[in-house]
Amino acid sequence: MSARFDWPALMRAGLHGLRLSPEAFWSLTPAELQMMLGATAGAKPLLRDGLEALMAAYPDTLKEDEDARR
């Protein structure tokens, strides 16, 4: 069974508790909202090894075929 979001509770927490505008609330990811509500249990900081793995997987440079199209 997949976890389901309690949208009414999340909306109350975001719109009333945090006083977010609807636009700001809906632009957040669930992880960002969770962090803003202080529920970061199990969250770990991104360490150098993790950052290097992300940088290798998603480099900021264009591939050769993308360069040719520009």
Number of structural domains in the chain: 1
pLDDT tens figures, 19-66: 999 999 999 998 888 889 887 666 677 899 999 999 999 999 876 666
Q: What is the residue-wise DSSP string for 5-66?
A: --HHHHHIIIIIIS---HHHHHHS-HHHHHHHTT--TT-----HHHHHHHHHHS-SSPPHHH
**Assigned domain for 25 exists:** yes
pLDDT for residue 62 = 73
Q: Which domain holds residue 54?
A: 7-69
**Assigned domain for 23 exists:** yes
**Assigned domain for 49 exists:** yes
**Assigned domain for 1 exists:** no
The confidence band for 7, taking pLDDT boundaries of 50, 70 and 90, is confident
**Assigned domain for 39 exists:** yes
**Assigned domain for 2 exists:** no
Cα–Cα distance for residue pair 44/2, rounded to 1 Å: 23
